[in-house]
Amino acid sequence: MRYMVNKVYVLLFTCITILFASCSGGTQEPPSHAEVDSIVNARVNALQVQMQSKNDSIINDMAKKRADSILTIMKGQNNPAVPQTVK
């Protein structure tokens, strides 16, 4: 009987020790304001570069289409065999 009580105390002591060991990990300090600012600024800059390159691509595509249509119109005006209609 005494042996069983000692086992219970050892088990209880082990569980409490594990509980305290797992809860003591909260000693990390939160990041400072400057660290948060630098992280946010880096993320904003990365997104800005990504969006700028996407916008540049869209603008270049639109400019190419417009230039192609202007060239097509100019070629049509220089060709006397193509009758031009007045609208």
Task: Classify 85 as helix, strand or coil.
Answer: coil
Quick one: pLDDT at residue 75?
Answer: 86
Residue partners of 57: CB distance under 8 A and separation at least 6: none
Position 68 pLDDT exceeds 80? yes
pTM: 0.46
**What mean pLDDT value characterizes the chain?**
82
Distance CA 25, CA 51 (A): 40
Distance CA 71, CA 77 (A): 10
Work out the average pLDDT over 55-71.
93
For 2-43, what is each residue's pLDDT tens digit?
Answer: 667 778 788 888 888 887 777 656 667 888 899 999 999 999
Quick one: pLDDT at residue 39?
Answer: 92
Quick one: pLDDT at residue 1?
Answer: 61
